[in-house]
Amino acid sequence: MVTYACLAAALLAYLSWLLVRGPGQQSTLIDGWGVAAFEILASCLCLWRGLAGGRRRLMPLVLGGATLSWAVGDTILTVESLGGSPATPSLADVFYVGFYPLAYVGLALFVRREARGFIPATWLDGAIAGLGAAALAAAFAFKAVLASLGGDAAEVAINLAYPIGDVVLFALVVGGSAVMLGRFRPSWALVGLACAFNAVGDTFNLVNSSAGPSALGSFFDGIAWPTAILLISFSMWLDSGRAEPAAMPRAPDFILPSLGALASLVILCVGTQWQVGRVAVSLSAATLVTVGLRLALSVRQLRALTSERQRQALTDELTGLGNRRLLFRVLDAYFEDASAAPGGPRIAFLFVDLDRFKEVNDSFGHSAGDKLLRQLGPRLADTLRKSDVLVRLGGDELGVVLRDTDTSYASAVADRILAKLQEPFLIDHVSVRIGASIGIAFAPDDAQDSHSLLRTADLAMYRAKTGGSACFEVYHEETDEPANRLRLVDELRSAVEQGDLLLHYQPQVDVKTGDVVAVEALLRWSHPRLGMVPPLEFLPLAEEAGLMQPLTEWVLDHALQQCAAWRGDRPDLAVSVNVSATNLMDAGFADTVRALIARHRLAPSALILEITETTIIRDFARCKRVIALLRDIGVAVSIDDFGAGFTSLAYLASLAVNELKLDRTLISGLNDAPSGRDMAVVRGTIDLGHALGLRVVAEGIEDDASLAALARLGCDVGQGYFISRPVPAEDLSAWPGLSAATADAALRAS
């Protein structure tokens, strides 16, 4: 470092001397011997780096050799100039020109080290950037150079060698930078800078020799080469080995190749109007050909990537078999095809559920389970035809689609699969036995869409499984559908017992202020196999199975608990719970409600019970009694879905209810262009409700226009998707935003 500091100081001193002295005031001592000694010293330092440098020795040795060659050229020229003006070309030129091939090798070594491995796209990028740069340099430099060339053939040749050498050097630096993928290497930057100095020196030297020395010319001529040599030498000591690559190519990586392509495009365009050198045009054309290759490569890579993505999307990661998505793609294609019509080809779906897989997982661990699953594909492969599709549905369930099949073939395949799965599996030197149960369903016989086909095969599988020993069953509507109902009831019962249900809440807002005044609790059943089952599908089952009472108690308990939690911040919030006809038949219902309210330390006004109009009509006298009892406790009662049952409100007026909930069929008439009739019905119902002293709630508000219309008609409370969908309790934290939006709409209406 000290030596480099001294060399830099000497260079600065030389620079100042060049600035003060006049043109043509050459000093052999300083410009000749001094500069040559300086360059030899700097080159030796570079070589020393190579000799001392362990594994990374080749690059500094080659680059040191290059600069030393130049320095020797300078020395020879100094000796020659002692005896007057040296001849052109001279022996010195051989050493000067010798600099270039060595420098190229040095740069190539640098780039190869950084580029690690042969990535065709990267190298093509480098080639585009390099060729584009060369085209640009040729377009600008060559004309001037050629114009200033003169003398005999040898002189022209040697004078041409420098600009060509520089253009190639420039191309290598730019191309190399592109190959290095945006990694900034200070040592590479110094080498690049040195090459630029070298080109500057060459250019001014040529200008000097043709147009005569000028102050500026001799200044650059003098300072450029020693600076270039010092920079190259120093860069080798600065170099700290390979840089870590960027994980992904970043935008800057595309800049150099893009500029290269752009430059050659411009040169070719300009070339159609003005005279551009043939070298520049050829280089530009070569650049664009390379761009074409690069594009072709990119398209190929993109295609490969897309098909790989697609393959991954349809593959089960663990087993390498197809996944659910693939299954639905195959089945959907079949059903979409006209061939799904009766009389067309039949397909069979086999739902395969492994037996005792859970035990394997529990006793040997999940990784053993995974190993077993991975063996399934190879083992079952030869039980199927090429056209059959084997997928993993998830967990320990497999699915098989047999195309163009009949019952006997499907049964034969099921038998083969069962036999294969009963053979022991060897996992970590332990022999493990499992088995399977298989359900078979056919399309179009048993199902008209993919989901139903899966469901029917699943039902048959369930029968096979409950049947005991590993076997297969074919779906029969008469036996499987009733069994399915029983199975669902069974599952619902355990869901109720284990509390595997959940509540979503839908806010009800004051139409005038936008404040949330109550929330309706709506029941959800997240079924492990069927996903989210809507309440209107499972509530009849619950009624049938006599589960309504525990179910409503569960809902009341959870809704009141949640309401108590919310009431900390919103003391007036009420929760609205739906009750069914069965609940009202229960003599102890009012007591249960009272006890639950007390358990959660709530005021009775915190609860609203919704009873549908149709329930009330079914047993009017009994409902009237229960409603009166609830009224005594202080709990509000609401008539839900009012307007759906064609009952006169006057008839219901004798009930001790507090609230009227207009059915969403009435509200849906209020969207953008309501008919006078729809408006009249809603207005009349709201007015009558008010006349009877009832609070009027509108449900099913799906748009801004309906909310505005309801505000105009004097409705008190609104509920619907426009305000919020039913959501889990924790998602209801954005109350204020909700109020603002609603109030805004109401305000615009008034």
Residues in contact with Mg ion by CB under 5 A are: 578, 610, 640-641
Q: What share of the chain is helix, strand, coil (3-state, %, to 5)?
A: 65, 15, 25
- In the complex, the smallest distance separating the C-beta of residue 664 from ligand C2E, rounded to whole angstroms, is 6
Closest CA to 197 of 162, 221, 161: 221
- Residue 721 found at the interface with ligand C2E (CB under 6 A): yes
- Determine which helix (DSSP H) or strand (DSSP E) holds 437, and give its type and residue range: strand 435-443
Member of 720, 732, 735, 739 binding ligand C2E (CB under 6 A)? 720
Under 8 Å between Cβ of 659 and 637: yes
- Residue 545 found at the interface with ligand C2E (CB under 6 A): no
- Residue 98 found at the interface with ligand C2E (CB under 6 A): no
From 215-223, 236-244, 324-332, 719-727, give the range in contact with ligand C2E by CB under 6 A: 719-727
Under 8 Å between Cβ of 320 and 391: no
Q: Residue written as tokens 């006049």?
A: 22
Q: Which amino acid is at 719?
A: Q
- In the complex, the smallest distance separating the C-beta of residue 584 from Mg ion, rounded to whole angstroms, is 15
Member of 398, 401, 555, 745 binding ligand C2E (CB under 6 A)? 555
Residue count of the chain, please give it: 750
- Residue 640 found at the interface with ligand C2E (CB under 6 A): yes
Q: Tokens standing for 39?
A: 């360059």
- Residue 580 found at the interface with ligand C2E (CB under 6 A): yes
- Residue 728 found at the interface with ligand C2E (CB under 6 A): no
Q: How far is 513 from 750, CA to CA, in rounded Å? A: 12
What count of Cα atoms within 13 Å lies in the side-chain half-sphere of residue 315?
12
Q: How far is 627 from 615, CA to CA, in rounded Å? A: 12
- Residue 539 found at the interface with ligand C2E (CB under 6 A): yes
Q: Tokens standing for 733?
A: 């934290």
Residue 167 interaction partner, one of ligand C2E, Mg ion, none, beta carbon < 5-8 Å per kind: none
Residue 700 interaction partner, one of ligand C2E, Mg ion, none, beta carbon < 5-8 Å per kind: ligand C2E
Closest CA to 710 of 681, 732, 739, 741: 681
Member of 578, 615, 685, 739 binding ligand C2E (CB under 6 A)? 578
Backbone dihedral region for residue 740 (phi beyond 0: left; psi -120 to 50: alpha; all else: beta):
alpha
- Residue 540 found at the interface with ligand C2E (CB under 6 A): no
Residues numbered 500 to 519 that lie near ligand C2E (CB under 6 A) are: 506
Q: How far is 746 from 740, CA to CA, in rounded Å? A: 10
The distance from CA 259 to its chain's CA centroid, rounded to whole angstroms, is 30
Q: Which amino acid is at 471?
A: C
- Residue 202 found at the interface with ligand C2E (CB under 6 A): no
Q: Which is nearer to Mg ion, 169 or 637 (CB)?
A: 637
- Residue 537 found at the interface with ligand C2E (CB under 6 A): no
Residue 553 interaction partner, one of Mg ion, ligand C2E, none, beta carbon < 5-8 Å per kind: none
Member of 82, 536, 621, 673 binding ligand C2E (CB under 6 A)? 536
First CA to last CA distance, the chain: 83
**Residues near ligand C2E (CB under 6 A), total:** 22
- In the complex, the smallest distance separating the C-beta of residue 581 from ligand C2E, rounded to whole angstroms, is 9
Member of 454, 579, 608, 611 binding ligand C2E (CB under 6 A)? 579
- Residue 641 found at the interface with ligand C2E (CB under 6 A): yes
- In the complex, the smallest distance separating the C-beta of residue 699 from ligand C2E, rounded to whole angstroms, is 6
Residues numbered 145 to 174 that lie near ligand C2E (CB under 6 A) are: none
- In the complex, the smallest distance separating the C-beta of residue 570 from ligand C2E, rounded to whole angstroms, is 21
Q: Residue written as tokens 């006890």?
A: 595
Residue 726 interaction partner, one of Mg ion, ligand C2E, none, beta carbon < 5-8 Å per kind: ligand C2E
Under 8 Å between Cβ of 283 and 264: yes
Distances (CA, A) of 748 to 324, 511, 668, 704, 742: 49, 12, 20, 10, 10
Which residues of this chain interact with ligand C2E, rule CB under 6 A?
506, 522-523, 534-536, 539, 555, 578-580, 610, 640-641, 664, 699-702, 720-721, 726
